[in-house]
Amino acid sequence: DAKTTQPPSMDCAEGRAANLPCNHSTISGNEYVYWYRQIHSQGPQYIIHGLKNNETNEMASLIITEDRKSSTLILPHATLRDTAVYYCIVRGSGSARQLTFGSGTQLTVLP
Amino acid sequence: GAVVSQHPSWVICKSGTSVKIECRSLDFQATTMFWYRQFPKQSLMLMATSNEGSKATYEQGVEKDKFLINHASLTLSTLTVTSAHPEDSSFYICSARDSGDRGLGANVLTFGAGSRLTVL
């Protein structure tokens, strides 16, 4: 699985969009980008995933660059409850394999 | 959506005792479940892969005789920490994938809420 690089921490004002970057320059063609988050003292929560097209669901949007070497998770209107550690994970599909977690980005939403 | 339940959510035990943590997939079947451990201010570290009806696969450095894993059914995996010591105090988290999901969601793992173990 390709290695990912994320900033260790970010702040965002409540109600504003939170844009969390992730670099995955060694990603291969069949690897997906997954985003999970972990609120303090809870298990990780799935947010979104994508291969090469931008994706949107009720939680967030995922923007993947054309060369697929980086992506951005967008929380359109951050709330205090979005304060969490956000993990960007790159992994191939087609098999039931584990997720390997990096250090993630601690997002703090400020009132 | 898929739900994974862990029990207990927290447990305190004396050094030398054994503790069992259960991980259940509530509305789907899971042939494979994963057990993670997380120390304070650190990321999740995979401990072992639990396979229904067969032996678990342990990551390097994880003692299989200390962390016993049983996956006797398609909806239940258990992790038993044997002869627990204070250094085993940690947050233990399980995850599972819906075996019946063949779409793009096939590789989305659902996580339990975690079990916090404190060994005195």
Chain A hits for B113, Cβ within 8 Å: 42-43
Confidence label for B19 from pLDDT (cuts 50, 70 and 90) = very high
The answer on pLDDT for A94 being more than 70 is no
Confidence label for A96 from pLDDT (cuts 50, 70 and 90) = low
- pLDDT digits 0-9 by tens, A35-92: 999 999 899 999 999 999 899 999 999 999 999 999 999 999 999 999 999 999 998 7
> Which chain A residues in 12-71 lie under 8 Å from chain B, judged by CB atoms?
32, 34, 36, 38, 41-46, 49
Quick one: pLDDT at residue A28?
Answer: 87
Angle A47-A50-A52 from CA coordinates, rounded to 5°:
155
Q: CB A89: neighbour CB atoms within 10 A? A: 23
